[in-house]
Chain A
Amino acid sequence: MSDVLKAPLAPKKTPTSAPFWDGLAEGRVLLQQCEACNQWVFYPRPRCSHCLAPALLWKPVSGAATLTSWTHCPRPTAPPFEALAPQTLAVVTLQEGVRMSTFLLETADRPLTLGMALAPRFVPTEDDSAVLLAFAPA
């Protein structure tokens, strides 16, 4: 993927997830934490997926993550991503323990390894309706 880019597809935002996307638009990463059991939750939900308490609070986090898995795709995974091929898709684990599906930037000549440290990158969508959370080697 080129380093100056816009993502071709916008997420279909929901009222439940609005704080997450609003945070990214301001360059901040917000995650939900359960007041009842202290667990972090991702993706956004109205109740905790560990204890079902309706007690999730939005908290700012650093966005620091580690690499859990990745795949370099020489062919686009779907037609809308043709201009971005080759893509490096990834699964990352944030410091708080939650996982996310994402893609990696700035990986040229960087060997990817399990557990390598990653930092957040903010990538706007082509229609400028949202900012996606991508990652790059820290």
Chain B
Amino acid sequence: MVGKRHGAIVGYAEWATERRYDGPRAFMLEQWMDLAAEALADAGLELGDVDGLVCGTLREASMFVPATVVEYLGQPVKFAEFVDLGGATGTGMLWRAAAAIELGLCDVVLCALPGRPIPSNPDPRDRPSPEARWLGSTSNAWGSPQAEFEVPFGHVAQNAGYAMIATHYEARFGSCETARAQITAQQRRSAALNPLASFYQKPVTVEDVLASPMIAEPLRLLEIVMPCAGGAAVVVASAEKARKTPHRPVHITGFGECLTIKTPTFAKDLAVTPVAEAAATAFARAGTTPGAMDLLALYDCYTITVLLTLEDAGFCPKGTGAAFLAERNLAFDGDFPVNTHGGQLGVGQPGLAGGLLQPIEAARQIMGRGEARQVAKADRALVTGTGGVMSEQVALILEGA
């Protein structure tokens, strides 16, 4: 039930994703400022209304990130957070903002994740190491368990870890190859109608997915997100403030978070993901159930992530995801709308900002701003975020006022 105490998404900014960005380059702090201005304008609010701020990693600062952003924007706040949850950062930012509002700490919280390239540094000593390019989310710092027990074995970045989860799942429950290809194809149908998506007007078929190159068995190229440039921001406001904004407020009525491991090798069960705990907490907090959702916006770094999230969030029993998907259509005009913007598999992954695109799309649909891909009934949505290799997940329940 939507109550007075729940924080609400009242506006957002989303930059079109670009595989090869050739626009003007700006530092992440500068991008933060642009995103803040766009999101506040969308919410009909001004900088002076902002009294809370949540940020993620910045290239320009490794410590004191919130204070650096606050000073740069020129707006003091009463609540600041720094979230480090990989792909779950965006959703993790939103529930922290909502919780701070519920506690009465603040009224208007800005959350932004820039994801465009920064200017290339003329000083070669100040550039990231070539190693950083292939390590991905794997730490090769001395003392990191990954530097010792993952990297030397070739277990680096994300592809192999997700493939490991998929292989283990299929060995126990049977092939989900066609169902995974269906996820990409049906999301790409929605992306084809999304002008902000890298794959706008570029649908693919199940056959196209199955014919794409094998990257890490059983995962193929079109089952893996494409890195690109972009950026996103969301304004979360108290119910009282939300009433004065131009769009239908989208209340964050439920949220849950769960972290279990960094490397899936150490997962208690490779086929069970932390979203089981996170979604159960979110549904209980909102007093609702999976069956009451009108649409889903599920973090989709890989196809297997969507399938496991559907099972673990309670839409179908463990091991039955492929059969469940075979009877459903995930496109915006299907019977079971999932990632109606195309998901990251259809939009592309603009770094950490990719994790804000899911909640933004759910809010857009609930606000009735879905345009060509508007879902007929959009009052309630489950949104998830996934960080690392199924290391940490966040679930949000969004409800229209």
CA distance A81 to B216 in the complex (A): 14
Residues of B within 8 A of A114 (CB): 168, 171-172
Contact of B155 among A14, A76, A89, A134 (CB under 8 A): A89
Complex contact B153–A14 (CB within 8 A): no
By CB atoms of chain B within 10 A, which of A9, A73, A78, A102 has the most?
A78
B148 touches A99 (CB 8 A): no
Q: Please state if B154 and A69 are interface contacts (CB–CB under 8 Å).
A: no
- Contact at B165–A69, with CB atoms within 8 Å? yes
| Total number of B residues with any Cβ neighbor in A under 8 Å | 38
Docked complex Cα distance between A110 and B388 (Å): 31
Q: Which of B46-95 contact A (CB under 8 A)?
A: none
Taking CB as reference atom, which chain B residue is nearest A7? Answer: B152
Q: With A68-B168, A113-B171 known to touch, is A84 a contact of B154 (CB < 8 Å)?
A: yes
Q: Which residue of B lies closest to A133 (CB)?
A: B153
Report the bound CA distance from A89 to B158 in whole Å. 13
Evaluate whether A77 and B168 lie within 8 angstroms (CB atoms) in the complex, with A87-B154, A99-B266 already known: no
Using CB atoms, name the residue of chain A closest to B221: A75
Number of A positions contacting B (CB below 8 A): 37
Contact A103 B154 (CB under 8 A): yes
For window 70-84 of A, CB contacts with B under 8 Å fall at 70-79, 81, 84
Interface string of B166-195 (1 = CB under 8 A from A): 011001100000000000000000000000
Cα-based distance from A13 to B270 in the complex (angstroms) = 27
Could you say which of A7, A77, A102, A103 has the most chain B C-beta atoms within 10 Å of its C-beta? A77
Assembled-state Cα–Cα distance A75/B153 (Å): 15
> Knowing A9-B152, A89-B155, A91-B264 touch, does A71 contact B216 (C-beta < 8 A)?
yes
CB-based contact B156/A77 at 8 Å: yes
Among B142, B156, B214, B263, contact of A12 (Cβ-Cβ < 8 Å): B142
List the 10 closest A-B pairs by CB distance, nearest first. Answer: A71-B163, A114-B171, A69-B168, A78-B134, A12-B147, A72-B217, A69-B164, A101-B155, A11-B148, A101-B265
> Interface residues, chain B, CB within 8 Å of chain A?
134-135, 140, 142-145, 147-157, 159-160, 163-165, 167-168, 171-172, 213-218, 263-266, 270
Q: List 18 A–B pairs whose Cβ atoms lie within 8 Å, in order of A's numbering.
A: A7-B153, A11-B147, A11-B148, A11-B151, A13-B148, A71-B164, A72-B216, A78-B154, A84-B154, A89-B153, A89-B154, A89-B216, A91-B264, A99-B266, A100-B149, A100-B265, A103-B153, A132-B152
